Amino acid sequence: MHPVASPDGRKLVYERWDQNPITGSLANVKVANADGTEARQSTDNGAANFGPYFHPSGEKILFSSNLHDPQGREFDIFMINVDGTGLEQITFTDGFDGFPMFSPDGKYLVFGSNRNESHPGNTNVFIAEWVEDPGR
């Protein structure tokens, strides 16, 4: 568990790893008050969901998940409301995308990825300008 505080410091987001007897390891994203009370689960999809980070609004969470890969090897970045509704896929690249974090002003997203790797397993750091609701 590596808790990350919300922008206002009132909440914590973290992952909880469990063992699934059928698919192996799985993790779920949880949110709690900063003092650890009122912990609640934001994901429950049978996948490995990890590396959560609060959206600048404090109302959403970005995290990495292998949700859409039955083999469990492809990870993309997803966003979900703190209450577990509104799941949205953010990245769509083969390989690994994970550990999303926002710049303090919320204008940029930084994440690790195996895109453009010089050799298998090489992870690069990417910085992208964050565009809120690009389709609207």
Q: What is the pLDDT of residue 72?
A: 82
pTM of the predicted protein model: 0.91
Q: What is the pLDDT of residue 14?
A: 96
Q: What is the pLDDT of residue 116?
A: 87
Contact 15, 50 (CB under 8 A): yes
Largest CA distance in the chain: 44
Question: Rounded to whole angstroms, how far apart are CA atoms 80 and 31?
Answer: 12
Class in CATH terms, 4-129: mainly beta
> Beta-carbon neighbour count of residue 78 at 10 Å?
25
Q: Which residues of the chain are modeled with pLDDT < 50?
A: none
Question: Rounded to whole angstroms, how far apart are CA atoms 126 and 35?
Answer: 33
Q: What is the pLDDT of residue 2?
A: 81
Task: Kindly list the domain boundaries of the chain, sorted by start residue.
Answer: 4-129
Q: What is the pLDDT of residue 1?
A: 61
